[in-house]
Amino acid sequence: MLQRTFSIIKPDAVRNGYTGAILAEIDRAGFRIVAIRKQSISGPQAEGFYHVHKERPFFGDLCVFMSSGPLVLLVLEKDNAIADLRKLMGATNPANAEEGTIRKRFAGSIQENAIHGSDGEDTAAFEIGYWFAAYELI
Ligand code: GDP
């Protein structure tokens, strides 16, 4: 089933010069880029995006990190996009990520882990709508 998911190339990966390599991996895995935008985000914007994590101990640090520099917002489409992107990303902690995954190759720590991907259909819908207007999703 053709499905859309939301992804972010996080500030660590952009800072380290991995944007092109990560986009190439996404392309090679068969995703269509529906929308793409490089920008910086504010602390409050990060807090709204990650509101489901607001009780977790790392929430503050995570939002500071996500607003620490430019990132790349993406809407991606393919069959089974949500699960397939999660597989391509690898485990949250790059130390536990499988060989060949984006986090294994490009991430440095459990927080600065190179890429975000929606974890379910409801989350994907919220996350796409949080960053992109309908007219941008072509
Ligand atoms: P994901 O779905 O694999 O991105 O992981 P989660 O939804 O559990 O967490 C969201 C993001 O919070 C992760 O991608 C990390 O950037 C960060 N994070 C998760 N767990 C930890 C942790 O234990 N410590 C810190 N500092 N950051 C974390």
pLDDT for residue 123 = 98
Using the mean position of ligand 1's atoms as its centre, give its distance from the Cα of residue 135 in Å.
30
CA-proximal residue: ligand 1, atom 3 (nearest): 92
Residues whose CB falls within 8 Å of the CB of residue 34, separated by 6 or more in sequence, listed in order = 4, 75, 76, 77, 137, 138
Residues whose CB falls within 8 Å of the CB of residue 55, separated by 6 or more in sequence, listed in order = none
Question: What is the value of pTM for the model shown?
Answer: 0.98
Cα(31)–Cα(51) distance, integer angstroms: 27
pLDDT for residue 115 = 99
Active site residue 53: no
Cα(31)–Cα(19) distance, integer angstroms: 16
Active-site residue identified among 4, 10, 103, 116: 116
Sketch out the chain's domains with CATH numbers.
2-136 (3.30.70.141)
With cut-offs at 50, 70 and 90, classify the pLDDT of residue 9: very high
Does position 138 have pLDDT exceeding 90, yes or no? no
Cα(73)–Cα(91) distance, integer angstroms: 20
CA-proximal residue: ligand 1, atom 27 (nearest): 111
Tens of pLDDT, residue by residue over 47-92, are 999 999 999 999 999 999 999 999 999 999 999 999 999 999 999 9
Answer whether 92 contacts ligand 1 (Cβ < 6 A): yes
In percent, how much of the chain has pLDDT > 70?
Answer: 100
pLDDT for residue 22 = 99
The three-state secondary structure class of 116 is strand
Host H or E run for residue 75: strand 71-79
